[in-house]
Amino acid sequence: MTMTDLRNIGVIGAGTMGNGIAQTCALAGFPVVLQDLSDAALDRARKTMEGSLARLVKKATLTEAQAADTLARITMTTTLDLMADRDIVIEAIVEKLEVKAAILGKLDAICRADAVLASNTSSISLTQLAAASAHPGRVIGMHFFNPVPVMQLVEIIRALQTTDAVAEAVTALTHAIGKTPRVSKDSYGFIVNRLLAPQINEAINCVYEGLATPEDIDSMMKLGANHPMGPLALGDLIGLDVVLNIMETLYDGFDDPKYRPSPLLKQMVSAGYLGRKAGKGFAEYP
């Protein structure tokens, strides 16, 4: 295998992002191993992928047979063993440096030394993550956007240690799965979330200050700024725990009060009102 031939793909974490990444890669013809901690998490992921593929079948973008073939290309597992033969493993687990660093350490022991280790982190320094691997040159950020089957961009973030060969191979893979890569240097939140997360946080501060209802704030941004959905609905789509983790990374990383997480954002997360995935956030999702 040359670095430009990343074919066998592993995805760790089958939540909001992981199942979308697995589906997108499998739809493009790549064999995928999708790992999560429990069968229940994998069952939820399978149902989400079935629903997403069914949308494509309904609008005749895909045949029933192609949807079935896509799912058949995804092997689901609760252990990391099947990552041993993967050319690239994309990690999409919780947005915490220590948890991601621990997975990279485990993958070092399981994966081939030339396998690429990519992280779908939203904000964490890739340079810090790469430092947790015994082979830091193979670590890179491959940042997909939610909902993965729909959103075009993949931000590719080079750690200080990432080799040119790894960056080129991941850029080629991004094209091969039908997405558009844009490369940035490593910095907290990279480009998109450095701009987007503070906007969501500020919208939550507007609710906290009682300036307007969540519905009105969202409709103002849709009608006044032509955003496809308002910032509070977007926070609910992303997951308010993820938004809080991003804000904390920006706040701590840049050591700048302008990124202070909204007190209401912290309360929502403490209450378990995490957005769509919890059935309740700034709106209810029955």
Is 155 considered catalytic here? yes
What torsion, rounded to 10 degrees, do the Cα atoms 117, 120, 122, 128 define?
Answer: -10
Is 245 considered catalytic here? no
Q: Tell me whether residue 95 is annotated as binding.
A: yes
Q: How far apart are CA 90 and CA 23, in angstroms?
A: 13
Residues lying near ligand NAD in the complex (CB under 6 A) are found at: 12-18, 35-37, 41, 92-95, 103, 120-122, 144-146, 238-239, 242, 277
Told to check if 146 binds ligand CAA by CB under 6 A, we report yes
The partner in contact with residue 36, picked from ligand CAA, ligand NAD, none with C-beta cut-offs of 5 to 8 angstroms by kind, is ligand NAD
Q: Which residue, among 55, 137, 124, 64, has the nearest Cα to 96 in the 3D structure?
A: 124
Q: Tell me whether residue 52 is annotated as binding.
A: yes
Q: How far apart are CA 100 and CA 115, in angstroms?
A: 17
Q: Tell me whether residue 137 is annotated as binding.
A: no
Q: Considering beta carbons, is residue 62 or 148 the nearer one to ligand NAD?
A: 148
Told to check if 145 binds ligand CAA by CB under 6 A, we report yes
Omega before 231 within 30 of 0, i.e. cis: no
Q: How far is the CB of 272 from ligand CAA (least distance, A)?
A: 19
Is the Cβ–Cβ distance between 184 and 157 less than 8 Å? yes
x/- map, 233-252, ligand CAA, by CB under 6 A:
-x---x---x----------
Q: Where are the alpha helices (DSSP H) in 12-61?
A: 16-27, 39-58
Q: How far is the CB of 267 from ligand NAD (least distance, A)?
A: 19
- DSSP string computed for 138-186: GEEEEE--SSTTT--EEEEEE-TT--HHHHHHHHHHHHHTT-EEEEEE-
Which residues belong to the annotated binding site for NAD(+)? 13-18, 36, 95, 100, 122, 146, 277
Binding residues, by number, are 13-18, 36, 52, 59, 95, 100, 122, 146, 277
Q: Which residues are catalytic?
A: 122, 143, 155, 193
